[in-house]
Amino acid sequence: MSETMQTWPRAVDDALQVAGGGSPRLRPVNVLVVIPTYNERPNIERMLREVRRNVASCGILVVDDGSPDGTADLVEVLAPEIGELHVLRRARKSGLGSAYRDGFQWGIAHGYDAFVEIDADFSHDPASLPTLIAAAQQGADVVIGSRYVVGGEIPDWSWHRKLLSWGGNRYASAMLGLKVKDSTAGFRVYRASLLEAIDYRTVQADGYGFQIEMTYRSRRVGAVIQEVPISFVDRELGESKMSGSIISEALRLVTKWGAERLVGRGWDPAPGATRG
Ligand SMILES: Nc1nc2c(ncn2[C@@H]2O[C@H](COP(=O)(O)OP(=O)(O)OP(=O)(O)O)[C@@H](O)[C@H]2O)c(=O)[nH]1
Ligand SMILES: [Mg+2]
C-alpha cells in the first residue's frame, strides 16, 4: 500500500469494500473537493464541517465570487480548524462553470489528481462523498451522482419538474450520444488526467450546460463514466442562483452540438487524448 493510500479516511475504505466486493483495482487519488459559492453564508460552515467529517483527508477549495454576504471571510476564519481548506477569491459573479474551471486549474497546479464538484446548499449530501470517491479510486474517470439510475431520487420535486429535468436529460443524451442518465447532475468526481484530456479550460458553458459539455467531452475521449445513485434535495437556506437563461443556454448548446455531431463536426479531442 502506498503512502497516499494510507491516508485514506476509514469511510472511503469502507465504501470501497461495499462497492468493490473483493480486491478492487486500487489507484491512489489525492482528492480536492471544490465548492463554488455565491452568498452561501447560511450554509457554508455546516457544509465544510460535513465534508470534513465524511472525508478526513481531502483538500477543500471554496471558489467564491465576491459574495456580498462575506462567505469567503467566514471560510478563512474556519480554515485553521477544518484543515487543508483554501479559498479562491474571484472579483465578481462569473458563473458556476467558470468557477469550476478556475478551481480545477488551482487544484492541478497544487498537485491534486481527483476533483469533486459539490454545491454548497446541501442539495448534494456530503455523506455520499465516500461512495463517489471510491468509484473514482476504483478506476472511473468520471463519477456522476445520479438522480436517474436505480436508487437515485428527488424527493422534493413535483412530477412536472421531474419530467422537465428527465426530458432534458433524455434530449441531451440522444442528441450527443452520452449514454448517461443524468448529464445535468452537478455532484461529481473527475480525475485530473481526464480534465487535461478534455481540455477543460476551453469548455464554454455555465450551469447545466457546463455539466453536459463536460459529459459530452468525456464521452468523446472514451472516458470511463460511472453513475452512482444519490438523493437530490432542495436547498433550505439561502437563495437559488438558477435562472431561465441557464436552462435556455443548455438547450441552445445541446441543439447546436447535436447538429454539429450529426454532420460530423462535433467537438474533437486533441490527437492522443483518446482514452480506453
Ligand atoms: N462561485 C460561484 N458559485 C456559484 C455561482 N452561481 C451559483 N454558484 C454556487 O453553485 C452552487 C449551485 O447553485 P444554486 O443556486 O444552488 O443552483 P442550483 O443548485 O443549480 O439550483 P437550485 O436547484 O435552485 O438550488 C451553490 O453552491 C452556489 O452558491 C457563481 O456564479 N459563482
Ligand atoms: Mg442548489
pLDDT digits (tens, 9 = 90+) for 85-97: 999 999 999 999 9
- Decide if 267 is inside a domain: no
CB atoms within 10 A of CB 163: 11
Predicted TM-score (pTM) of the model is: 0.90
The alpha carbon of 14 and the centre of ligand 2 are apart by a number of angstroms equal to 29
Q: Which atom of ligand 1 lies closest to the CA of 119? A: 27
- Decide if 271 is inside a domain: no
- Decide if 68 is inside a domain: yes
Residue of 117, 119, 231, 245 with the most ligand 1 atoms within 8 Å of its CB, for mutation? 119
* The residue type at 3: E
Residue of 121, 210, 239, 249 with the most ligand 1 atoms within 8 Å of its CB, for mutation? 121
- Decide if 229 is inside a domain: yes
Q: Which ligand is nearest to the CA of 185?
A: 1
Range in 190-194, 235-239, 240-244 the model is least confident about: 240-244
Q: What is the number of structural domains in the chain?
A: 1
Q: Is 240 exposed, middle or buried (0-12, 13-18, 19+ CB in 10 A)?
A: exposed
Contact present, 239 and 39 (Cβ < 8 Å): yes
pLDDT band at 26 (very low <50, low <70, confident <90, very high): low
pLDDT, mean of residues 18-39: 72
The strand pair at 142-146 and 188-191 is best described as antiparallel
> What is the C-alpha separation between 77 and 116, in angstroms, rounded?
23
- Decide if 272 is inside a domain: no
> Above 90 in pLDDT, residue 131?
yes
Q: Which ligand is nearest to the CA of 208?
A: 1
* The residue type at 133: I
- Decide if 269 is inside a domain: no
Task: Give the up-direction half-sphere exposure of residue 42: CA atoms within 13 A in the CB hemisphere.
Answer: 8
Grid cell for residue 129: 462523498
Task: Give the up-direction half-sphere exposure of residue 114: CA atoms within 13 A in the CB hemisphere.
Answer: 24
Q: Which atom of ligand 1 lies closest to the CA of 64? A: 1
Contact present, 49 and 23 (Cβ < 8 Å): no
CATH code of the domain in which 187 resides: 3.90.550.10
User: In angstroms, how far is CA 115 from the centroid of its own chain?
Assistant: 7
Q: 99 CB less than 6 Å from ligand 1?
A: yes
> Above 50 in pLDDT, residue 10?
no
- 28 three-state secondary structure: coil
Helix axes 41-54, 71-82, angle to 10 degrees: 20
- Decide if 144 is inside a domain: yes
| Higher per-residue confidence, 149 vs 11 | 149
* The residue type at 221: V
- The residue with cell 436547498 is 235
Q: Which residues pair with 142 in a beta bridge?
A: 190, 225
Longest alpha-carbon distance in the chain: 54
Range in 16-30, 73-87, 182-196 the model is least confident about: 16-30
pLDDT, mean of residues 32-56: 98
User: What pLDDT score was predicted for residue 276?
Assistant: 67
Q: What is the mean pLDDT of the chain?
A: 89
Q: How far apart are the first and last CA of the chain?
A: 26
Domain ranges, residue 60: 3-262
User: In angstroms, how far is CA 276 from the centroid of its own chain?
Assistant: 21
Contact present, 54 and 129 (Cβ < 8 Å): yes
The alpha carbon of 234 and the centre of ligand 2 are apart by a number of angstroms equal to 7
User: What pLDDT score was predicted for residue 7?
Assistant: 34
Q: 120 CB less than 6 Å from ligand 1?
A: yes
Q: Which ligand is nearest to the CA of 100?
A: 1
Q: What percentage of the chain exceeds 90 in pLDDT?
A: 79
Grid cell for residue 72: 469567503
- Decide if 268 is inside a domain: no
pLDDT band at 39 (very low <50, low <70, confident <90, very high): very high
CB atoms within 10 A of CB 8: 24
